[in-house]
Amino acid sequence: MEIVQQILFIAALAATAWFITGRVKLIAKAIRLGRAENRFDHADERLKTMLLVAFGQKKMFTNLLVGVMHFVIYAGFIIINIEILEIILDGILGTHRLFAPIITPIYPVLIDVFEVLAFGVLAVCVVFLCRRFIARVSRLQASRHRELRGWPISDATIILTAEIVLMIAFLTWNAADSVLRDRGVGHYGELQGVVPDFLVSQYLKPLFTGFSDTALVAYERTAWWLHILGILAFAIYVTYSKHLHIALGFPNVYFSDLQPKGEMQNMPEITKEVQLALGLPVTTEPDGSQANDNGEQPAEIGRFGAKDVEDLKWINLMNAYSCTECGRCTAACPANITGKKLSPRKIMMDTRDRLEDIQKGWKTNGPDYKDDKSLLGDYITAEELNACTTCQACVNACPININPLDIILQLRRYRVMEESEAPASWNAMFSNIENNMAPWKFSPSDRFNWAEQVNEPLTK
């Protein structure tokens, strides 16, 4: 019987590894569709930012209670799963609590920590479900935000429920195991005196006192299998879910923009065109590199802005896969607050949906598949883009440094510079900037005329 369990476990582990590997390759390929950009500079600063923002949840602590809950559920779930190493080895080798005799002094302490965190994760998941369906936090309601209708709400509910089930399985498995150990049943009894009762699960032991030995062993095995198979299934599921941020949150923060939030990136393509128009030496290529020694430039001019995902930068696409759909960006967006259709969360979700649709095409029609759709127009509308005030509120609000504004600006640049689709009021502003070097219709020589009146005496 033991050998059968080992075979089944190894098969489940191999199947999980196969599915996850295939999915990771597809996601990596999708992210690589984006344009190249160096995000490997200032390693020390990036590492510090990652530790503070990704692991330390620094930006979540603007609300202390919510920050603590998020830290518990995020860090707690990651730390708890350190125990998976022992479970996997037990499953492969057919052993039971392999590490207990090896690290006897610290083993109970480790499991106690895992149990406290498991209870914390369970409690926080219940609170989060209550926030969604009882307190009905505005930014989490599909009735108020159209991008949440359908699958996004179900996805969040499935994940929270699954985590509750996994934590219950973990705690009750430890409790049943303790009862079997106390009774000296089979190999469980071999750890009697080596492994004590654990901090949380000891209070669940009375639930199993009426079980026979056979029923208790059956429950312990069922809970063990449910816990590990649930984690393996969870690992596969998150690659299709918004909860992919569990894996991508850390690299996403590491590679986030280190420039001041109000600084918009210059377009080397435009610099080149201006230099050519003024008869100046061209100093930059469209990718920002230096021109060659003889001043020759490529005949083909790159696209201004972005129309589809391959025109965006690779970090924009990683941002899309890292988005947790928490809605803090949309809740902070003044355009959305005033009733405009713009939702920064929807921008990120639409970008990810576009990438997912491309992946489906690859699987169905081959790696060179192209369709007639584009991110601009088929997923994100001009009305959404034009509503953005570039105030950076969405960028500042994101807990993992996602930048919806960067995508908005690139799409909007394409509409203005490639399709000449700027609103009339914008065209007037562009003309004023070109002629007067300011958005207002005043010549530079008249710009400070108002100051002459400052010291004039007031007249009745």
CA separation for the pair 452, 64 (Å, rounded): 51
> pLDDT band at residue 256, thresholds of 50, 70 and 90?
very high
Model confidence over 352-382: pLDDT tens digits?
A: 999 999 999 998 888 888 888 999 999 999 9
Q: If you average pLDDT over residues 219-244, what whole number do you get?
A: 93
Residue 295 pLDDT more than 70?
A: no
Q: What pLDDT does residue 12 have?
A: 95
CA separation for the pair 159, 231 (Å, rounded): 11
Q: If you average pLDDT over residues 68-77, what whole number do you get?
A: 83
Q: For residues 415 and 376, is the Cβ–Cβ distance under 8 A?
A: yes
In the chain, count of helices (H) and strands (E)?
18, 0
What is the biggest distance separating any 2 CA atoms in the chain, rounded to whole angstroms? 103
Q: What pLDDT does residue 448 have?
A: 78
Give the percent of the chain with pLDDT over 70. 94
Q: For residues 37 and 315, is the Cβ–Cβ distance under 8 A?
A: yes
CA separation for the pair 344, 327 (Å, rounded): 8
CA separation for the pair 322, 328 (Å, rounded): 14
Least confident of 172-186, 217-231, 284-298, 413-427: 284-298
Q: What pLDDT does residue 286 have?
A: 46
CB neighbour class for 172 (10 Å; exposed up to 12, middle 13-18, buried from 19) = buried
Q: If you average pLDDT over residues 252-274, what whole number do you get?
A: 82
Residue 284 pLDDT more than 70?
A: no
CA separation for the pair 253, 54 (Å, rounded): 6
Q: What pLDDT does residue 274 have?
A: 73
Q: How many CA atoms lie within 13 A of 242 on its CB side?
A: 22
Residue 298 pLDDT more than 70?
A: no
> pLDDT band at residue 434, thresholds of 50, 70 and 90?
confident
Q: For residues 382 and 352, is the Cβ–Cβ distance under 8 A?
A: no
Q: Return the beta strands (E) in 76-231 as ranges.
A: none
> pLDDT band at residue 460, thresholds of 50, 70 and 90?
low
Q: If you average pLDDT over residues 145-153, what whole number do you get?
A: 90
Compute CA distances 232 → 118, 171, 314, whole Å: 17, 18, 29
Supply the angle between the helices 314-322 and 2-31 in degrees, to the nearest 10.
140
Q: For residues 338 and 330, is the Cβ–Cβ distance under 8 A?
A: no
Q: What pLDDT does residue 325 have?
A: 93
For residue 376, the cross-strand partners are 380
Write the CB contacts of 78 (distance below 8 Å, at least 6 apart in sequence): 246
Per mean pLDDT, which of 76-85, 105-114, 438-447 is the most reliable? 105-114
Least confident of 117-126, 253-262, 376-385: 253-262
Q: Which of 384, 375, 341 is nearest to 356 (CA)?
A: 375
Q: Model-level pTM?
A: 0.85
CA separation for the pair 298, 309 (Å, rounded): 23
Residue 184 pLDDT more than 90?
A: yes
Place of tokens 């590491």: 254
CB neighbour class for 388 (10 Å; exposed up to 12, middle 13-18, buried from 19) = buried
Question: Where are the domains positioned within the chain?
Answer: 2-32+63-254, 268-443
> pLDDT band at residue 250, thresholds of 50, 70 and 90?
very high
Q: What pLDDT does residue 11 have?
A: 95
Q: What pLDDT does residue 285 have?
A: 53
Compute CA distances 292 → 284, 285, 295, 297, 356, whole Å: 9, 9, 5, 8, 39
Residue 300 pLDDT more than 60?
A: no
CB neighbour class for 287 (10 Å; exposed up to 12, middle 13-18, buried from 19) = exposed
Least confident of 73-77, 104-108, 297-301, 440-444: 297-301
Residue 126 pLDDT more than 90?
A: yes
What is the average pLDDT score of the chain? 88
Residue 99 pLDDT more than 90?
A: yes
For residue 380, the cross-strand partners are 376
> pLDDT band at residue 330, thresholds of 50, 70 and 90?
very high
Amino acid occupying residue 327: G
Compute CA distances 66 → 53, 72, 73, whole Å: 15, 10, 11
For residue 43, the cross-strand partners are none
Q: What are phi and psi of 35, to 5 degrees?
A: -70, 150
Residue 398 pLDDT more than 90?
A: yes
258: its two tokens = 């280190």
Q: For residues 441 and 447, is the Cβ–Cβ distance under 8 A?
A: no
Residue 82 pLDDT more than 90?
A: no
Model confidence over 24-43: pLDDT tens digits?
A: 999 999 999 999 999 999 99
CA separation for the pair 170, 77 (Å, rounded): 12
Residue 428 pLDDT more than 80?
A: yes
> pLDDT band at residue 268, thresholds of 50, 70 and 90?
confident
Write the CB contacts of 68 (distance below 8 Å, at least 6 apart in sequence): 61
> pLDDT band at residue 52, thresholds of 50, 70 and 90?
very high
